[in-house]
Chains A and B, each alone.
Chain A
């Protein structure tokens, strides 16, 4: 059974804190993605990575950074959390062989106070 796991289901943080969201996949996929999902806005791509140590900005990278030191792990970092980063964060992974191989994690619901 394919699996994308995220380190936390729910997180509550204070404004200005540095926040780490971890994602791990066990499918040996090359590509990994971080999205945020907000009502009325849908899924928006923050960053993606197509290989270890490689990263590309998505549509809304401001205020975020990422790290991919190992193929199976992709981390999203909120350098200084703000209230407008309260959202559902979804990680996904996909092989190079086709879009039908994309799988999502269960999501992390982040509340920034």
Chain B
């Protein structure tokens, strides 16, 4: 079983829509949950990061972790064409060195 599973999409939404991106993970030892954004032909950049469970909000972005169901989500409100990118979830154990990444979800926001 893979450590992290992510729906690859692609996802195509109109500008202004609410976007929901999701991952599931297998190991309850994971404590750090990250979302990276990767534009075409660029390296990933950290978008949001959560420790343990709960929600975290940053502008139009909300990261949510449900440890009981091993489910992590990223919500994008009022989506913009500039949000068009691949979004990668990643998890890490508390004392671990190795991130485990989802395969990424490709998002296109249509003007």
Contact = CB atoms under 8 A, between A and B. Distances in A.
Interface stretch (B42-50, B57-65, B67-75): B42-50
Residue picked from A31, A43, A90, A104, most chain B C-beta under 10 Å: A43
A107 B39 CA distance: 12
Contact of B42 (A40, A41, A45, A107): A107
Contacts of B34: 99-100
Interface in B1-33: 6, 8, 32
A61 interface: no
B42 A99 contact: no
Chief secondary structure at chain A's binding surface: strand
A106 B99 CA distance: 18
Interface in A80-111: 90, 92, 99-100, 102-107, 109
Contacts of A64: none
B101 A99 contact: no
A45 B45 CA distance: 17
A105 B97 CA distance: 18
A104 to B, nearest CB: 4
B88 A100 contact: no
Contacts of A92: 43
Given A42-B104, A99-B92, A100-B49, A50 B43 contact: no
Contact of A48 (B8, B88, B98, B101): B98
Given A40-B103, A42-B104, A107-B42, 5 more contacts: A42-B88, A90-B44, A100-B49, A102-B46, A104-B45
29 contacts: A31-B97, A40-B8, A41-B103, A42-B103, A42-B104, A43-B44, A43-B88, A43-B99, A43-B101, A45-B98, A48-B97, A48-B98, A58-B98, A90-B43, A90-B44, A92-B43, A99-B32, A99-B92, A102-B46, A102-B99, A103-B45, A103-B46, A104-B36, A104-B44, A106-B42, A106-B43, A107-B41, A107-B42, A107-B43
